[in-house]
Amino acid sequence: KLKMISMISLFCGGLITLFGLLGFMINTKVLYVLYSNGFLSPSHSNIYILAFCNIFGNTLQLFISLFYLGPTSTMQTDYFAGGTNSTGTKFFSWVFLGAWYSNMFLQPVVASNRLIMVIFPICSHIFSKNKTIFYGTMALFLGFFLAFFSDFVIPCCIAYVYYGVYSYFYIGTDFNYVNTYIDLPVNSSSSFISILFYIIIFIYVRKNNLKASKFAHEQHSSKKIKEVRYAVQFAFCSIIALMAWVTFRFFPIVVPSDQLAWFTVIAMCLILHCVANSLIFVFFNKEFRDRFLGRSIDINSSNTAPQFSMNTENIPAAKATPSEGTPQNDQQ
């Protein structure tokens, strides 16, 4: 039986669908460019491998926004007759939660990678290509495993993708074990560790800039500058992720129960979070942008880092390791 679509649900659901579509298309092409243009090869930084895993999980969430949350929010009815008790609804909620947990696990891994490459490059073997692939795949596996445990083992309080609030919602009236013992610790610890590591990196960079300014003729390391710029990129992504999960916790407290359309902001923050990594690649990484837009590449511009206007010229060069003398060394 068809329901009359209100202007509010048409606007909110249409907004989620439209931006979900744009984000899904951008992320899908970014994944294709990363895979098909050699960005995952040893000649490029291994940070691209972690970014690929991150964007893959984000694309799954955008898929759900585009094909499930947006249309059901517009119609204000579920695809499945059983509603929140149906297998289909639980499946979409599991995929959403698994992709989110995976992203939360990846953020500290990425921040650790930046910390080592900028401050402790002598330990860069911790993020060799094979180890980086292992870290990325394990983050995805653990994320979906934890989501299965959260949704199907713990007897209450599943975080559903729910059209009634145009976003995501805990279903259950009992004590919220999922929120108390899983979601809050995972989200808060992930954001805290990541932001802490980026703060340490930026303090280190600033401190060494001040020291190096006394030695105007000292040469700086272009690779070190590149690693710092990658850190800036992923620091932005961590801040947007923090904004996404904070709105999920904050809005139910402040939004009146008769104004649920405002919960669309949560869905939009998640969409922004899911596409942020891709947008930063496109706008700030010249080499990637050229490949994304199908432009020809000058071989001399290979491995160009994201071009943030950060003052990194005076960062002292790291002590070279035996493998850093070759052109193909940019493996971390």
Number of domains in the chain: 1
Q: Is residue 183 part of a domain?
A: yes
Q: Please give the average per-residue pLDDT across 244-270, as a whole number.
A: 91
CB burial readout 51-67, b (16+ within 10 A) else e = bbbbbbbbbbbbbbbbb
pLDDT digits (tens, 9 = 90+) for 52-84: 999 999 999 999 999 999 999 999 999 998 888
**Which three-class secondary structure state does DSSP give residue 38?**
coil
Asked whether residue 41 is assigned to any structural domain, the reply reads yes
Assigned domain for 329 exists: no
Q: Is residue 125 part of a domain?
A: yes
Show the 3-state SS of 25-36: HHHHHHHHHHHH
In-domain check, residue 104:
yes
Identify the H or E element spanning 97.
helix 87-119
Q: Are the C-beta atoms of 208 and 315 separated by less than 8 Å? A: yes
pLDDT value, residue 210: 63
What range does the domain containing 262 cover?
7-312
Residue 331 lies in a domain: no
CATH number of residue 20's parent domain? 1.20.1070.10
This prediction has a pTM of 0.83
pLDDT digits (tens, 9 = 90+) for 140-195: 999 999 999 998 888 678 888 999 999 998 876 677 888 888 999 999 999 999 99
**pLDDT at 304 exceeding the cut of 60:** no
Position 321 in a domain: no
Query: Domain for residue 319, yes or no?
Result: no
- Spatial distance between the Cα atoms of 1 and 309, rounded to a whole number of angstroms: 56
